[in-house]
Amino acid sequence: VVKIRLQQQKGSSPELFKYKGPIHSARTIIHEEGIFGLWAGAAPTVMRNGTNQAAMFTAKNAFDVILWKKHEGDQKVLQPWQSMISGFLAGTAGPGMIYAIQTIYAEEGLQALWKGLLPRLMRIPPGQAIMWAVADQIIGLYERRYIYSAAS
């Protein structure tokens, strides 16, 4: 809530902004709306992020199988560069992509499909690439140390 309120302030004169910074914003929200005001709108965000993460994990696993022939329980640990490629590609996937494309095209035209693309591509796929490179190494270490060594 604090971040969104700060981002939503409009105008060219910072001295007229209601919220002066993150701490001032949090204090103002608590004073005006109570402590639970800090979590206003959290339920839709949690639901959105839940579906996004479900799609991302599914896409990451699918890319691991397609690109690297990695299957559950095969004791194969991907190299960091492999995880980065799978994670990057998973970061480009999302639920309801075809419906979204059709709707945007119908309502706003072909060029509207590219609005905001560059900032999003600069943020999400590289972040997913790094996250998966690290996560797969940690998972591989855990599996080798606790699962596969215990089975031997």
How would residue 15 be classed by pLDDT, with cut points 50, 70 and 90? confident
pLDDT at residue 36 tops 90:
yes
pLDDT at residue 29 tops 90:
yes
Task: State the Cα–Cα distance between residues 13 and 31, nearest whole angstrom.
Answer: 24
How would residue 13 be classed by pLDDT, with cut points 50, 70 and 90? confident
pLDDT at residue 95 tops 70:
no
Task: State the Cα–Cα distance between residues 12 and 124, nearest whole angstrom.
Answer: 29
Measured CA distances, 4 to 32, 51, 121, 150 (Å): 16, 21, 21, 48
What are the helix (H) ranges across the chain? 2-8, 22-33, 42-68, 80-92, 97-108, 117-142, 149-151
pTM: 0.53
Write down the pLDDT at residue 96: 67
pLDDT tens string 108-148: 999 988 888 888 888 888 988 999 999 999 999 998 888 88
Cα angle 126, 85, 79 (rounded to 5 degrees) comes to: 115
